[in-house]
């Protein structure tokens, strides 16, 4: 008989299981996938963590404080609903954690971070609004696998000690509830499948199971792999009409099934209409899962045009306001947009999301980083591979040929060569002027004031149409599904609440299934690095509460 059942073997589940076992609890960890998928979506991530006032920041000359981070978070979250009380409390608790215990604790279990702190989601409008005032995105050495590894190591040690057992290929379909208290789970045992991590696996049922425990912790992830579910929750009043075509930032088994099981048993779900999707998605030329999309992590210099060929205005520039840009793109009635850039920009500014797209950082070795990013010709090898093979990329020496290539990709929405040319010429005329009125050129100069951006992230401003900076590159950008910002309603400890706000005894939740804590601790907007951070923080809270 186990004391705790954890449903979901991703990052939040590993943290919750480890914390419970370290307190002497006997834990059963169930997951519908095989052991090769332990760590869930965190494995595929870049490994970024939102932390505040760290040694890494201070070494880069960044002055950050708990108060500034709180101002940025609350300006981004814009909590405005009665049900936001618990999400706000979790956010406040996470901010105290991120500015205090987080880094020393993670360092003590073996994590280390790349010395240049990234400046993600910069906002770009009002000081009291959305965005990070300073760089806070700490990339873990080893990327996503480097985040998962310390917790997997701890969990495996607890397994060896007899305090944690695994039930892989166990798909939970029902919560056992008796007299209003969660008492256990039942479901189907799926056929063994040795498919590589991220690949679709068999749903053949070979048996069933039932397990009981004093506490159930749901850590089963979000809904990003089920695009119909995403469209069901899509907030058309805030973002515009839901896209008909999206690329998938997560495998197809990230389908929200366990969230629906909990809801059917009486758990409350809040903020389902809050979500986080990216506008810089490209189809993976070498896919791992169906409809696999990769996000471009752009520096600030690429010119960004909507589907009609109109350059997008500030703050809808690369790296500034993800959801604002999503709304702006969809306002055209189309679902794609375009980057236009030069070889010099792609070499310095383009990165790709995901551990597998950053083998140098994933290796955790300085030699590989230097070889891959500073000593090689061209952009990093994964970026050059997309440029050569990606269906969304066009490369040309002349702008006329570039626009022709763009229109070949999207013949249903051709853009005008003259319109594109005139906007680039106008932008180029501003580059050499110290009295520039172009907001993006001003933003590029501002970015280069930060040492980290100037060293490795932001190209020196130059004319797009100067042939010496070429060739020219265009990239069709697609909407990429990624994260659920709402979910199961919990308190600060991870205790699940019912739809009426009362406690659902015996049931806890953490990670994305709970909106990364509380049912949506981001509010309406994320600041990046807060997804892995939220999984760690909420998983720890639930593991300590059961």
The mean of the pLDDT values for the chain is 96
For residues 250 and 27, what is the distance between their CA atoms, to the nearest angstrom? 27
Tokens of 72: 């940025």
pLDDT in tens, 389-422: 999 999 999 999 999 999 999 999 999 999 999 9
What whole-number percentage of the chain has pLDDT above 70?
100
pTM of the predicted model over 0.95: yes
Calculate mean pLDDT across residues 434-445: 92
What HEC string does 320-360 produce? Answer: CCHHHHHHHHHCCCCCCEEEEEEHHHHHHHCEECCHHHCHH
69 to each of 136, 161, 452, how far by Cα in Å? 9, 40, 19
Residue 373, pLDDT above cutoff 90: no
Q: Is the predicted pLDDT of residue 540 greater than 80, yes or no?
A: yes
State the pLDDT at residue 371.
Answer: 80
**DSSP, residue by residue, 123-175:** --S-TTSSS-SS--EEEBTTHHHHHHHHHHHHHHHHHHTTSEEEEETEEEEEE
| 10-21 pLDDT per residue, tens | 999 999 999 999
Digit-coded pLDDT (tens) for 475-503: 999 999 999 999 999 999 999 999 999 99
Cite the beta strand spans of 201-262 per DSSP E: 205-212, 215-218, 247-248
Task: Supply the pLDDT for residue 366.
Answer: 83
Q: What distance in Å separates the CA atoms of residue 369 and residue 362, rounded to the nearest whole number? A: 9
With pLDDT > 90 as the criterion, what percentage of the chain qualifies? 94
pLDDT of 308: 98
The pLDDT of residue 378 is 86
Instruction: Say yes or no to pLDDT of 376 above 80.
Output: no
* pLDDT greater than 80 at residue 343: yes
Give pLDDT, residue 368.
86
The predicted pLDDT at position 77 comes to: 98
CATH code that applies to domain 2-221+485-545 = 3.50.50.60
Domain boundaries, the chain: 2-221+485-545, 277-480
What's the pLDDT score for residue 328? 98
Q: Taking 80 as the threshold, does the pLDDT of residue 268 lie above it?
A: yes
- Please determine, for residue 375, whether its predicted confidence score (pLDDT) is greater than 80: no
pLDDT for the residue numbered 199: 96
Q: Give the pLDDT confidence of 323-332 residue by residue, as tens digits.
A: 999 999 999 9
pLDDT of 124 > 90? The answer is: no
* pLDDT of amino acid 33: 97
pLDDT tens for each residue of 43-85: 999 999 999 999 999 999 999 999 999 999 999 999 999 999 9
Contacts of 488 (CB under 8 A, 6+ apart): 218, 259, 262, 263, 267, 268, 269, 496, 509, 513, 514, 515, 519
Residue 15 to residue 542: CA distance in whole angstroms: 9
Predicted local distance difference test score (pLDDT) of residue 364:
87
Q: What is the pLDDT of residues 80-116, one digit of tens each?
A: 999 999 999 999 999 999 999 999 999 999 999 999 9
The model's confidence at residue 433, banded by pLDDT at 50, 70 and 90, is: confident
pLDDT band at 258 (very low <50, low <70, confident <90, very high): very high
* Per-residue pLDDT tens over the stretch 190-231: 999 999 999 999 999 999 999 999 999 999 999 999 999 999
> Up-side HSE of residue 364: CA atoms within 13 Å toward CB?
14
């Amino acid at each position: 008989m186990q004391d705790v059942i954890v449903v979901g073997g991703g990052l939040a589940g590993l943290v919750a299981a480890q914390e419970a076992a370290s307190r002497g609890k006997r834990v059963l960890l169930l997951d519908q996938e095989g052991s090769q998928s332990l760590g869930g979506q965190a494995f595929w991530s870049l490994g970024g963590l939102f932390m505040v006032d760290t040694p890494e920041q201070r070494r880069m000359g960044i002055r950050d404080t708990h108060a500034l981070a709180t101002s940025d978070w609350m300006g981004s979250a814009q909590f405005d609903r009665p049900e936001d009380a618990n999400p706000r409390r979790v956010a406040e608790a996470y901010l105290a954690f991120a500015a205090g215990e987080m880094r020393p604790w993670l360092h003590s279990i073996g994590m280390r971070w790349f010395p240049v702190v990234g400046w993600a989601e910069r906002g770009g409008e009002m000081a009291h609004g959305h965005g990070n005032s300073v760089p806070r995105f700490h990339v873990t050495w080893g990327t996503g696998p480097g985040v998962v590894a310390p917790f997997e190591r701890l969990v495996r040690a607890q397994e060896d000690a007899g305090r944690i057992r695994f039930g892989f290929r166990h798909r939970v379909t029902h919560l056992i509830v008796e007299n209003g208290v969660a008492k256990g789970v039942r479901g189907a045992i799926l056929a063994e499948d040795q498919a590589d991590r991220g690949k679709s696996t068999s749903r053949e049922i070979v048996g069933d199971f039932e397990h009981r425990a004093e506490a159930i912790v749901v850590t089963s992830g979000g809904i990003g792999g089920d695009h119909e579910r995403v469209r069901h929750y899509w907030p058309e009043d805030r973002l515009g009409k839901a896209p008909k075509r999206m690329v998938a930032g997560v495998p197809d088994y990230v389908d929200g099934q366990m969230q629906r099981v909990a809801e059917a048993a009486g758990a409350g779900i809040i903020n389902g209409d809050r979500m986080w999707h990216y506008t810089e998605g490209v189809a993976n030329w070498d896919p791992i899962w169906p409809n696999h999309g990769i996000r471009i992590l752009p520096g600030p210099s690429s010119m960004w045009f909507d589907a009609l060929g109109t350059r997008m205005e500030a703050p809808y520039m690369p790296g500034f306001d993800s959801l604002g840009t999503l709304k702006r793109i969809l306002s055209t009635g189309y679902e794609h947009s375009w980057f236009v850039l030069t070889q010099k920009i792609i070499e310095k500014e383009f990165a790709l999301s995901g551990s597998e797209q950053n083998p140098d950082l994933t290796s955790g070795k300085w030699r590989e980083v230097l070889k891959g990013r500073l000593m090689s010709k061209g952009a990093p090898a994964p970026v050059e591979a997309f440029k050569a093979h990606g269906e969304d990329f066009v490369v040309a020496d002349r702008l006329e040929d570039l626009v022709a290539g763009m229109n070949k990709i999207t013949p249903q929405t051709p853009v005008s060569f003259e319109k594109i040319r005139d906007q680039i010429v106008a932008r180029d005329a501003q580059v050499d002027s110290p009295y520039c009125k172009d907001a993006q050129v001003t933003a590029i100069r501002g970015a280069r004031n930060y040492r980290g951006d100037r060293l490795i992230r932001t190209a020196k401003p130059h004319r797009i149409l100067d042939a010496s900076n070429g060739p020219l590159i265009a990239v069709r950008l697609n909407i990429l599904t990624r994260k659920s910002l709402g979910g199961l309603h919990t308190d600060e400890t991870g205790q699940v609440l019912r739809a009426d706000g009362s406690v659902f005894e015996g049931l806890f939740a953490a990670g994305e299934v709970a909106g990364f804590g509380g049912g949506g601790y981001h509010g309406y907007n994320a600041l990046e690095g807060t997804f892995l951070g939220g999984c760690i923080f909420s998983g720890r809270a639930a593991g300590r509460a059961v």
